[in-house]
Amino acid sequence: MSRVYDNWERLVEATLKRDQLRQIALCPSLSSSSSIDFSLDSLDFVNGRYQSLSWATRIKVATGAARALSFLHGLEKQVIHRSFNSGDILLDGEFNAKLSDFGLARNGPTGHLTTKCDVYSFGVVLLESLTGRSVLDMLKARHKWNLVNWAQPYLLHKIKLKRIMDTKLEGQYPQNGVYTVATVACKCISQDPRKRPTMAEDLVELQQL
């Protein structure tokens, strides 16, 4: 049994049964078809050809991840993932999202570590979904190296938002839906943790899309 799985068991065994983990899209194991960072950046192999994730699929994945984090944060003994990133979102053949890599997870909050840390990380994942870019890309022009710094000025402007959208989507996305996701992302990556929404609030916004 892996160290990650052992740590996961210690965190939630008193509260959850394994079948409940499946229902809320949590995955203590590390086995799955692909992760969202691979699918967005390198393209995913579908039906015999490489194909980028559609907008609807990206929303499905983001909603699944939001549901899982919201559940963890809502436990009587809160669980903070702590190291959440797009690579922790594993996808099955139907693009159902499951979270993995709980090696750094903690019962919290403790000091500066709160659920709002996970919220910030979730906002970064939403930016990756919008732009199709990785968090750091040193191959881009210097002002585009850091995804958050580059994308943030565009998020609350419907017209300018098109400039940072993933070109692999080829414009196949609803403008209002994109703006909603961008707005949620912008709130999540606020430098002031007190201004960040909860994962439950993020989930509500995504479920309405």
pLDDT of residue 30 exceeding 70: no
Most confident of 22-36, 137-151, 184-198: 184-198
Task: End-to-end CA distance of the chain: give it in Å, rounded.
Answer: 39
- Domain residue ranges of the chain, discontinuous segments joined by +: 3-207
Residue-wise pLDDT tens digits, 176-191: 999 999 999 999 999 9
Protein fold of 3-207: Transferase(Phosphotransferase); domain 1 (1.10.510)
CA atoms within 13 A on the CB side of 163: 12
Between CA 48 and CA 81 the distance in angstroms is 35
Most confident of 1-10, 21-30, 92-101: 92-101
pLDDT value of residue 102: 62
Average pLDDT over residues 18-25: 52
Average pLDDT over residues 102-130: 84
DSSP, residue by residue, 104-171: T-EES-BTTB-HHHHHHHHHHHHHHHHH---SB-TTS-GGGSBHHHHHGGGTT-TTGGGGGS-GGGTT
Q: pTM here?
A: 0.81
pLDDT of residue 32 exceeding 50: no
pLDDT value of residue 176: 96
With CA atoms as reference, report the closest residue to 119 among 166, 41, 186, 52: 186
